[in-house]
Structure 1
Amino acid sequence: MNLSLIWVLVQFFVCAAAVSVAGYRLAVEGERIGQAWGLTGSWVGLAMLASVTSLPELLTGVSAVTLAHSPNIALGDALGSCVINLGFLVVVDFVLRDEPLYRKTSASHLLSGAFGVVMLGFVAMNILLAGTPGFSHPAVDGVGLYSPVIVLLYLVALRLVFQHERRRPSSPAEAAQPHEGAARQSSVWQSLGRFMLSALLVAAAGVWLPVAGAQLADALQWNRSFIGTLFIALTTSLPELAVTLSAIKLRALDMAVGNLLGSNLFNVVIIAIDDVAYRQGVLLAHVSPLHAVTALSAVVMTGLAMIGLFYRPQSRVLRTVGWVSIALAAVYLFNTYTVFLYGA
């Protein structure tokens, strides 16, 4: 292993550590702020925590299309993070030893899951259309018209989920919000200050991640679609994993699941933001069509999670995880292998 590769790896893992630690602090302070504003746990997970824990994906995507000139890394990071977030459901199911995940989670997450299927399917459709001979994405000043549609779908999803949460009676578990005592002792302004400091650290690491990722792809002679879909997506998803495991420890399972599904909705919005930042044309017209496989893998995985939320299976395979988790892991491995083998 030469010194240049070692230096790239050092940069990459330093960024990963910064994103993980600072991203967790972002989530904690965001949760406290949300509670001070009287928001439900599920809503905090879906909207507030999802947006702050997805900050690395946002900054990494914009940096990828502006500094690193790597649209494949940007799209691979956004869509790969969706697949990884759904893969974290397998981790949650494995950690919960007393009862299967889908027996303990609120069925209200079906609504956010359904919007995830719609938004991810819409992105996959536009990626495939870009590879169709003779097709040209309608655009205004280099921004595809699919981008405002994505943002509109996200806003509609937030509004409908918020209305649904307000109509739904709170369960006893949701009524006992975590960090409630700490929220009383720490003012909202103090939480906002810590929130901003953590955001700056995540921003700095998120800007450099795609540059280090592009260098790593060149050093290892791996395709950039694979680097974006696996390594960078996994790194920028570390805040979601940290929040998920912490929420499990605090018995806030709905907040954890809401954060994962909400992060996926926000990750799709990041594709629209990347499209605006990418000045060489319409983003989805300059990426590998194989990204459609990742988008469709996320659609299939979201559908499996929705089946689990609706059917609520209680059996476990070898007393470890449910069959839904095994199916999620299989789709994740299939997507990873396919992108590695055929990515550009």
Structure 2
Amino acid sequence: MSAVLIIWFEFGLCAILIGFAGTRLCRYADVIADKTGLSGSWIGLILLATVTSLPELVTGVSALTLANIPNIAVGSLLGSCVFNLAILVVLDYLARGESLYRRASSSHILSAGFGVILIGFVGLNVLLIDKTTLTIAHLGIYTPAIVLFYIVAMRALYIHERAQVKEFVEQVADRYPDMTLHQAYVRYVLSASLVIAAGIYLPFVGAQLAEVMGWHNTFVGTLFIAGITSLPELAVSIAALRMGALDMAIANLLGSNLFNILILALEDIIFVAGPLLTFTSPLHAFSAFSAVIMSGIVIVGLVYRPSTRLFISIGWISLSLFTLYLLNTYVFYLHGG
């Protein structure tokens, strides 16, 4: 019993560290957004999404190089995409008053749309790939396609965000007169380092917890480990919402999903035994298509902007997202053993 308590204590400590540093990470990212003339959406998409997705990268690399468990590597990424979209339900609940989707910028439609394409592309490859798939050295042909499309997506999002910016440095820098851009960068890096350190340790705590609790490996990899590595996204997004940076919070989640797919391509490069997806279960396609449908629901919410809320202060968009998350969890509970 004492060993279990110690593991739970380590888990809680990591979560507290991520929450503490994540709050400051959002503040410094907001300073950078103001003083560079970039919007909160772009900062959330690049600075926050990249940092909060690093635990998924480290977990995947460890699963491939140290443990040789491709299903954990791929499952944690696709499961994280589903979990990130479920975090929007939490944000909608915490955003009192108007619905989250009435207050959010319509610019998120573009990043959500790119997410549909990238995640859906991976889902198709999970279903269709076999031993005779086209390869480049040990890579699947899907890897260069993912990298190329990610670059195209980032370029398109950057151009779109720059076009939306109406206020530049001279007009917005006064929001933080006591902090220079250099100080913001330094403090951002320090806060990000703490988030990364705690996020990197979390998967190992989760693996120990799964062992002592007797959970199935595939279930743990695709749901529990994915949830653990997504804690930085949860902490940072809630912190961004509480400081009034709603668009930064949403962009962090949607951007993390795009970066997760790029991580899958990087993992395929690292995994020298052959195309990574040929060594994984086709069940991962269910997570991919769950994330695709959830992304589509988010796009509908951003376009339709519903004003009504249902029970427990969430709207039908959030209820739909939560239902799909539960369905994905139930399917992996039944068949992921």
TM surpasses 0.5? yes
CA gap of 1:252–1:25, structure 2 versus 1, over 3 A, is: closer
Q: Distance in 1 between the 2:232 and 2:174 partners? A: 21
CA gap of 1:308–1:283, structure 2 versus 1, over 3 A, is: same
Give the match for residue 148 of structure 2. 152
| Identity fraction in percent | 49
Q: Distance in 2 between the 1:11 and 1:278 partners? A: 30
Name the amino acid aligned to 1:186.
M
| Residues 1:97 and 2:96 aligned together | yes
Larger mean CA deviation between 239-248 and 199-208 belongs to 199-208
CA gap of 1:106–1:195, structure 2 versus 1, over 3 A, is: closer
| Residues 1:168 and 2:170 aligned together | no
Give the match for residue 244 of structure 2. 251
Q: CA deviation at 1:77?
A: 1.8
SS in structure 2 of the partner of residue 106 of structure 1: coil
Q: Distance in 1 between the 2:229 and 2:305 partners? A: 30
CA gap of 1:218–1:148, structure 2 versus 1, over 3 A, is: same
Q: CA deviation at 1:107?
A: 1.5
Contact 2:116 2:296 in 1 (8 A): yes
Name the amino acid aligned to 2:74.
L
Q: CA deviation at 1:209?
A: 3.8
Q: Distance in 1 between the 2:234 and 2:216 partners? A: 26
Contact 1:27 1:52 in 2 (8 A): no
Q: CA deviation at 1:68?
A: 2.8
Q: CA deviation at 1:304?
A: 0.5
Equivalent residue for 2:133, pick from 133, 137, 140: 137
Larger mean CA deviation between 310-319 and 97-106 belongs to 310-319
Equivalent residue for 2:321, pick from 308, 317, 328: 328
CA gap of 1:139–1:35, structure 2 versus 1, over 3 A, is: farther
Equivalent residue for 1:240, pick from 221, 233, 241: 233
Structure 1 residue runs of 5 or longer lacking an equivalent are: none
| Residues 1:297 and 2:290 aligned together | yes
Q: Distance in 2 between the 1:176 and 1:332 partners? A: 42
Q: CA deviation at 1:263?
A: 1.1
Name the amino acid aligned to 1:140.
I
Q: Distance in 1 between the 2:146 and 2:132 partners? A: 18
Q: CA deviation at 1:160?
A: 1.0
1:311-322 to structure 2, matched below 5 A, reads 311-318=304-311, 320-322=313-315
Q: Distance in 1 between the 2:21 and 2:282 partners? A: 34
| Residues 1:188 and 2:174 aligned together | no
1:99-154: CA deviation from partner (whole Å, max 9, x where unpaired): 11111112221111110000000110111123x5xx43333342222112111111
1:279-321: CA deviation from partner (whole Å, max 9, x where unpaired): 3332211222111111111001000111111111111113611
Give the match for residue 56 of structure 2. 57
Contact 1:63 1:208 in 2 (8 A): no
Q: Distance in 2 between the 1:67 and 1:198 partners? A: 28
Q: Distance in 2 between the 1:15 and 1:285 partners? A: 34
Give the match for residue 302 of structure 2. 309
CA gap of 1:30–1:277, structure 2 versus 1, over 3 A, is: farther
CA gap of 1:14–1:319, structure 2 versus 1, over 3 A, is: closer
Q: CA deviation at 1:86?
A: 0.7
